[in-house]
Structure 1
Amino acid sequence: MTFENLNISAPILKALGQQNYTTPTPIQEQAIPVILSGKDLIGCAQTGTGKTAAFAIPILQQLAGSPPKKPKAKRSLILTPTRELAIQISDNFTAYGQNLILKHTAIYGGVSQFHQVKALHNGIDILIATPGRLLDLLQQQYIDLSNIEIFVLDEADSMLDMGFVRDVKKIITKLPSKRQTLFFSATMPNAIQKLADSLLQNPEYVSVAPVSSAAKTVSQSVYFVDKRDKEKLLTHILSDRGISRSLVFTRTKRGADQLVKLLVKEGIFAAAIHGNKSQNARQKALQGFKVNQLRVLVATDIAARGIDIDELPHVINFDVPNVPETYVHRIGRTGRGGNSGTAVSFCGTEEKADLRSIEKLIGFKLAVSAL
């Protein structure tokens, strides 16, 4: 199967070729024909499987192939939970749509709205937005969503985790009832399924991996360690210079900052990303990590949703997540695209119940590493 077999238009195929895309991933292979047919869709796939291209490519093709109903009308809305994801999706639309005349922009909080409002005023076809900033600009009457033809709710399970469901429902009231709706989520707990049922009409369901699975190329293990000894264990593991880059997850923003201070004191180049950091600081840290200026990036779950790094070898759960599906999201940062990866968890006595819930979800017990 190639992208040519999916009836992708020549300008987009040329752009995909320039990105060295030749073979669609399973989610792309199954979702693109459904979206091009105009049907609503629920797409369920683990992180790192190419979900963004699965909706971006057919959206670009559909909008390029038909004129807007009104000049400067916004025709597609992609709603996503974090700033990092909004930027990442925008970059993908730029890459795939480089040979088209369609315009897009991303709006998100943490930065001045000036340039975002200017882009909206100049006219765009595709709007990528986080819920808070979108609601803010709707209230200021800078945005009209009445002509949206295609609505995408991306990372729906993260929207639920972050408490955005109420905001999402407010935004949906601003959309026309006659539209195509695409619903993407890495996991499908009952609450997410109910939300999907309320938004979509006779959707096609595409699932390319069990919701409890991680990539088979990821080696998973756990250390049983007292909470007070976790920092010592982390520095010991990172003393192995063969570990080029590690993404470390903490449960709290304060914990992330404390960990970075410790690592820097030990001579390990590290930075943190979380919701209290400015957008510029988060982007600087992420870029430094991508180009190997930083060995360690310490992140909270919410901030990490936008991290898409090729060949990330190592994920460390400094804190065991208390939501089992979050574990799958975390370790999904490594082992992408067929590459191998390592995911290590530090489990304190008070976290053993959370670990048991994770093992029940993934269907096996994690290998225990010796201290």
Structure 2
Amino acid sequence: MTNVIDHPDYLLLDSDLSASDLALRDKVRAFGQTRIEPIINGYWERAEFPREVIPGLADLGIIGTFIPGYGCPGLSRQAAGLVAREMGRIDGSVNTFLGVHSNLCMGSIYMLGNEEQRHRWLPAMARLEKTGAFALTEPTHGSDSVSLETTARLEGGTWVINGHKRWIGNGHEADVIVLYARDEADGQVKAFIVEKSADGQYPQGYNPTPIPGKIGKRAIIQADIIIEEMRIPAENRLANCESFAGVNRVLKATRGGASWEAVGHGMAAFELAARYAMEREQFGGPIGGYQLVQEKLATMLSDLTSMQLMCTRMAQLQERDELTAPMASLIKMTTSRKALAMCREARDMLAGNGLLLENHVARHLTDMEVVSTYEGTDSMQALIVGRDITGLSAFTRHSRSKTPATAR
């Protein structure tokens, strides 16, 4: 039982990992346990990002995940999933920072930029000398972000952008922001790079405000951004994005990160609940000796194992380029639901102690509430799967979109 608590991999899936993937898993896990976990609760409670961990994250050699070259590691889908899993197992806020920076922002530049643009921005970002953000979501366009209303018009050698972005992770202080806007000339969505100047200032007209009052992922700040007549040079438009199809390319390439993170939160919930059940004594013995608690733990382990199996299969399909959007939606929906239920069960098992940050469960629980929302809510994932089952769309009658897209 102790081995299962310390290493909740009941069907020995990690035993099939390569030596390099095992080393990566252990390196990320050790960093999380020694450098992030001891400090994260304070940052989470203060709603501040732990910038002190950035040098250590850079040294891990994981920044840029699946991108080959430009100082990035070119990780396999399985390896990139392990990074998200192990980070999620420690803290969701730091994992979101990595996902936004490495996958969405750097991934956009790699997939939609030309060679000059890749060399211009990616190496410094791979070293975490510059941090990134991904500005797609708007106040009235989340799941239907294909309908975004932020506009861009070309005036000579300058793009002039107006609009409103919301829920943009790191959007208030990132050095490099990939921002999507609709070209007024042809109505197509294009990608633009907004970057700080040498003195750390954003272009005039870029006005970010941190969103206060969140109950989850409090250690990563999301921004509300008002954009008014912001001017950026023409060379800051990513050369290979001519329509919303470019956005979908990025989202397809980064799809699955939230599912792997959900596995990490589920692993943490199981470990914390199981250890507590062995240590907490009531009525003359550890609560782990009672039938009801054992049934809860067995159900948690069953759910966790199914999540691990689904994500492992997802990585295999991604490597073969056979993962479809409905498949990814089924996995996201399932892992989010199960991980959230596990975190709630763990909180209940710890009773009043589960409400205290020092026991970590409450942080994982509220962070999972966020995971259940970003990259598509459970409802949207279910409708994508439902459309695949029936051939009938339940969400296009009131929208221009045939393919919902969501982002962090």
| TM-score, normalisation: structure 1 | 0.26
| TM-score, normalisation: structure 2 | 0.24
Which structure has the highest helix share of the two? 2
